[in-house]
Structure 1
Amino acid sequence: MRVIKQILMLLGVIFVVSTLVFAVQQNQDASVKGPQTGDNEAVKNVAEEYTISAINIPDNLNFAGEGVPQEDPEIMERVDREFLVNTYWQSNAVLLMKRAHKYFPVIEPILKKNGIPEDFKYLAVAESGLQNVVSPAGATGFWQIMKATGREYGLEINSNVDERYHLAKSTEVACQYLKKYKEAYGSWTLAAASYNAGPAAIKKYMNLQQVDSYYDLLLGQETGRYVFRILAIKEILTNPEKYGYVLEKEDLYEAVPT
């Protein structure tokens, strides 16, 4: 009886080892042969349906009706960078499109009422991604308003209330700020740059460098990219299909009641 058990155990071990050897050989054969027909088709379909290419920049770029000097190769490199970064950051672009449908109906009529070009709604997109966020410096809300600026322009900000989070009221403040610095600089583009860097910084750079165009100023990394980023966001959100984005109406977030 003991001999029979030993024989059965030996046969079991032989069976297990044989199975493992067979499995290893099958895996090796599959590796040598490469992907099967179905796998090849899947790879082929992805390659056909998704391509990454350079971006064709429109010829007539402008911000708030003010032209971009596209004849300057250095300017076009900066434009190209922002178009590439923002076109191929697909998840963010889709979120911005969804949020724009929700919040632009609140922002647009306030801009119009105050005589602010509609392009400035894209400044809010660049500032906050259309979210009530707080920056490390303390700038708050869709328009990223600092506490002192908010109070200067009449917002209630205290331990109980912070109207920088109120979309309509903060948009009104942004309009007043932008009008003030458009009058100071004579340019909507410079007003946008001052919104990012602060009016004192823009004025200092203009005086030091003896130039009066945003596109001629040598600025820090953030403000130097700022208007170019807004230009890219404007173009992509205005013409999403051109850049490969296909969203149905039901994909968009429901508009905020006005």
Structure 2
Amino acid sequence: MKMMTKIGLVTLLLFAVAVSVYAVQSPKTDAAVTEKIANDYGVHALPMPTYLEFAGEPVPLENPDIMERMDRELHVNTYWQSNMIILMKRANKHFPRIEALLAEHNLPDDFKYLAVAESSLDNVRSPAGAAGFWQFLKGTAKEYNLEVNDYVDERYNIDLATEMAAKYLNKSKDRFGTWTLACAAYNAGNAGVNRQLERQDVKDYYDVLLNSETSRYVFRILAFKEIMSNPKKYGFNLRPTDLYQEIPIKKVVVNYAVEDFAKWSKDQGINYKILKIHNPWLRDTFLKNTSKKEYIIEIPEEGYYQLNK
């Protein structure tokens, strides 16, 4: 009983000290509250980089309009902290593969940030029907010989979609002469950009007036490049263990019909969910494949998933 009394007294004493400390530190006036918020929260305007480039093409930051547009995207994306952290985690998983594919198809490495802007490195579908990391519409995908139907949608195949993006962007570069305009045309379309260049009698992305989305598009990509290349500079601290990891896979050639992918997956030592995570381009639970087309299905190497038996 005496021991309990002593413990109670100590607890009461600590509580009294805590209350007194809070009373001393707690601001008493509106002015003091305002000052405390300013000091504790510490949101600061970001200094603008002195030099930026996209695919080797300098950004004319000395132009006030260009500086302000870049400044906006840098602040919007830096202070959307939760989104940027997730993007950095995903980038560690997906960038190595995308970088290799871009290099293979002679596209500058900076275009990996276009995929970030398009899809946040996620196999999403837009309200307009654009799909996959590179957000292709169905009609455009078919123009580039990607298969899109109820069973297979190769817009969700990262290898094939990246190859298509490279072809599209290289074609735009040949047409407009700069990677920056090719980037803008990816958003607004080649015809739309060309129409405005001719109407306004200019030849450069930084000189042409485009719709609000395309006017922000390249700057948003530049902001992703700047922040993701210099995370600590913008207050992001991620440990290697925080980052998502690329999972080693093996490739299985399928040139036959599959009646039930759930059963087929079990035969491969995985379940249907894991099959779809690694092959989102498979759109149904079976594959007709009457033409005997050869598909490459990716299976994680043994030991990377612990499955319930």
Q: Considering the TM-score relative to the shorter chain, is it more than 0.5?
A: yes
Structure 2: distance between partners of 1:227 and 1:153: 24
Q: Which has the higher helix share?
A: 1
State whether residues 105 and 256 of structure 1, in contact with CA within 8 Å, keep that contact through their aligned partners in structure 2: no
One-letter amino acid matched to 1:82: E
Q: What CA distance in whole angstroms lies between the structure 2 residues aligned with 1:85 and 1:34?
A: 37
CA RMSD of aligned residues (A): 2.2
Of 55, 64, 67, 1:64 maps to 55
Alignment of 1:101-116 (within 5 A): 101-116=92-107
2:129 maps to which residue? Answer: 138
- Between the aligned partners of 2:110 and 2:36, the Cα distance in structure 1 is 38
Letter in 1 for 2:176: Y
Percent same amino acid among aligned pairs?
55
Q: 1:235 aligns with which of 226, 247, 253?
A: 226
- Structure 1 runs of 4+ off > 3 angstroms? 37-40, 43-50
> Pick from 140, 156, 160: which aligns with 2:151?
160
Q: Give the match for residue 201 of structure 2.
A: 210
Measure, in 2, the Cα distance between the counterparts of 1:49 and 1:99: 31
Change (3 A) 1:65 1:182: same
Is 1:221 aligned with 2:209? Answer: no
Relative to structure 1, is the Cα distance of residues 164 and 216 closer, same or farther in structure 2, using a 3 angstrom cutoff? same
TM-score normalised to structure 1 length: 0.82
Q: List per-residue Cα deviations over 1:14-68 (Å, max 9, x = no partner).
A: xxxxxxxxxxxxxxxx9xx99524767xx99986665211111211100000011
Say yes or no: does 1:127 pair with 2:118.
yes
Give the C-alpha shift of residue 86 in structure 1.
Answer: 0.5
1:181 aligns with 2:172: yes
C-alpha separation in 2, matches of 1:113 and 1:219: 32
Confirm whether residue 36 of structure 1 aligns to residue 23 of structure 2.
yes
Bigger relative contact order, structure 1 or 2, given CA contacts below 8 A and separation 6+?
Answer: 1
Q: TM-score, normalised on structure 2? A: 0.69
Q: Which runs of 5+ in 1 are unaligned?
A: 1-29
> What is the CA–CA distance in structure 2 between the aligned matches of 1:106 and 1:98, rounded to whole Å?
15
CA–CA separation in structure 1 for the residues paired with 2:194 and 2:64: 26
Aligned residues: 225
Deviation per CA, 1:114-142, whole angstroms, max 9, x where unpaired?
Answer: 11000000000000111111111111000
Please say which structure displays the higher CA radius of gyration.
Answer: 1
> Gaps spanning 5+ residues in structure 2: where?
1-18, 28-32, 250-309
